Structures are given as structure tokens and as C-alpha cells.
A and B are shown apart, each in its own frame.
Chain A
Amino acid sequence: MLGIQIKMVSCHLILITRLPTICVKVGVIVFPGSNCDRDMYHVLRDVFKINTEYFWHEKKLSKNLDAVILPGGFSYGDRLRAGVIAAHSPVISDVKKFASKGIPILGVCNGFQILVESGLLPGVLMKNDSLNFMCEWTNLIVENNKTPFTNKLKLRQKIPIPIANGEGRYYADEKTIKLLKKNNQIVFRYSEIVNGSTFRIAGICNKDGNVVGMMPHPERATEPEINPIDSKPSSLIFESLLNVIGVAH
């Protein structure tokens, strides 16, 4: 859908113009300790002109949302295990309902950890091999370009993108990895060994492909001002979403 803007051109002439203002609505969930929620909101709202709304984790999600994003941060201070306490938040039952309806859901960093801990995605995110909090630029390779967040990317396309996590080492047992490969659920891999992730996995999706989790931060890489390498590939993650929820960007 395209938005409509009413412009006062003079006292008498009113112009009604169609603007590329995007009327689809995306929800950004805020947990206690989320700290990338505002970055995500900014990118959706200011860069991609999407109608975006925050949702506190204790509130219900609006039924008219076209996509839901779980942002990065340190929900509940990573107590017990990153993401596990937030995975029991009231909003997660709504996220599960949305997921079962095929609505696109993206979890970034802590959002990915929450999706894993809530059982929406398989596997687990463990402490990085180095035991360090890693904050650096990495390169992703696109392994699945059929998801709502990758359909405008090319297969094997390289995405320069930052990571910022202490518990980002994806692990799944052999059986799960086999299933992920078989079902084309591996969405992103690191181009080289970064943190000890099994099969260098950086992002996966559910079997239906509508729920995607990734450790790196696309919201920190979509603007040339803050991306010293190339902001276009990360932008395509959001443009892919727009492509799916009804607006070719």
C-alpha cells in the first residue's frame, strides 16, 4: 500500500500526492535490557519509511502487524542464559501465534537467542570460543535467499556486517544440523571461522522460512554513514521484507 500525503501548495490549491510512505506495520518488541530496539526502529522508520511501533514485552501484539522484530540487547542481563528469561515473556505466545500464521519474524542477536530459547528455532547459542565479547565486522554468505528477509539477496552474496555478542556461537547436534541442511534452514554462514559456530552458522530459519534468527546486526549496517564497507547488502535484508509484505522498495 502506498501512503497519501496532502500538501498545501497555496491557500487554495491542495495537492493530494501518493508518497512512498509505507503503510505496512512492523512491531519491534522491547524486553527489559533490549538496547538495539531504537536502532532497529530508526532503520525501519527513518531509512525504510515503514510504519513501526514498539511493543513492551508484557503487552499483546497488535493483530494487524505485517512483521515482528526481536531486537538485540541483553534482556534480563543475560541472567541464567542469554534469552531464556525473555523467552517466557507474555509477548512470546503472540510471537508464536504470528509465526504459525506465516508472518515474517526476525530475531537479531539477543532476539535470535530469544527465538532459540523459546523453541521457535532449533539449536542453542553458546559462549564464543574465545570467551570474549566480540564486537567486529564480519562477512556473511547468503545460503538461503528464499526467506522474507533474504529474497532480494543473491545466493552466496557476501554481506559485510558487524557482530556484537558474547554468546553467539551457534551449536546444534549432528542430527539437527543434518535437518537444517536438508530443509534449507541455514540462512547465513560466516565466510570464515569467527566464534566457533557449528558449520560457521550465523543465521537460520524455521522449516517454513518465515522465522529468521541471525547474530550479526543488519540495523547497524544499512546506512553508508556507519558502514565503512558497503551498506547495500544489509539494506537488502529490509528491502526483502518490504518485498514480501507488499511493497516493492
Chain B
Amino acid sequence: MPSFMVHVVIENKPGISDPEGDTILKDLVLKASFLSVKKIRTAKMLKFKIIEKNKSIAKKKIHNLCDELRIYNPMVSKITIEVFDD
């Protein structure tokens, strides 16, 4: 069976404050005069290596795992999942 890399990005939902992103924007990026940057949101990425029949099953398995084990907290966070050939 083929091997896939599944990237899961966990980030705060829109409307949930992200003080780390705000600090990077305000105290680093804007102070360094990159004035065209308007917003920074931080995120955490988990990279799963998984052996499954196809990309679709691999994505579904990881999505279920993230929900079941509360890899992200659905009250404040959302995930986006991308699958790549390993």
C-alpha cells in the first residue's frame, strides 16, 4: 500500500484572538517597516505519515483521528488537511 504525508494545520477560528500573531505583527514585522503586512495568524502543524489505500482514505482517517482525540479544540480552533505522496 502507498504511503502518504498528511499535513494538519491547527489555527484559531476567525474571531478568536491570537496574541502571538498580533505580537509578531506589531512588534516585529511592522517595526521593521514591512508596512504592507496587515495581519498575521499563528498556527500549529502536525505531519502524519500514514499507509493507506489512497489519498481520500488517508485524509478521512486523519480527520477522524483529529476529531476523536481532540487534536484541536473545536470551540476555538479549526483544522485544514492536505495530503501528499510520501
Binding site for B on A (CB under 8 A): 80-81, 84, 87-88, 117, 123-124, 126-127, 129-131, 171-173, 176, 196
Contacts and interface: CB of A to CB of B under 8 A. Distances in A.
A187 B20 CA distance: 29
Given A124-B73, A173-B75, 5 more contacts: A84-B70, A129-B17, A130-B19, A131-B19, A196-B17
Contacts of B16: 126, 171
Contact of B20 (A87, A117, A127): A127
A81 B71 CA distance: 8
Nearest to A128: B19
20 contacts: A81-B73, A84-B70, A88-B69, A117-B70, A117-B73, A123-B75, A124-B73, A124-B75, A126-B16, A126-B76, A127-B19, A127-B20, A129-B17, A129-B19, A130-B19, A131-B20, A171-B75, A172-B75, A176-B75, A196-B19
Contacts, number: 31
Nearest to B12: A126
B23 interface: yes
A124 B76 contact: yes
B23 A131 contact: yes
A contact face: mostly helix, strand, loop, or mixed = loop
Name the residue among A88, A126, A130 with the largest chain B CB count within 10 angstroms: A126
Contacts of B20: 127, 131
A171 B16 CA distance: 9
Contacts of A124: 73, 75-76
B38 to A, nearest CB: 21
Nearest to B15: A173
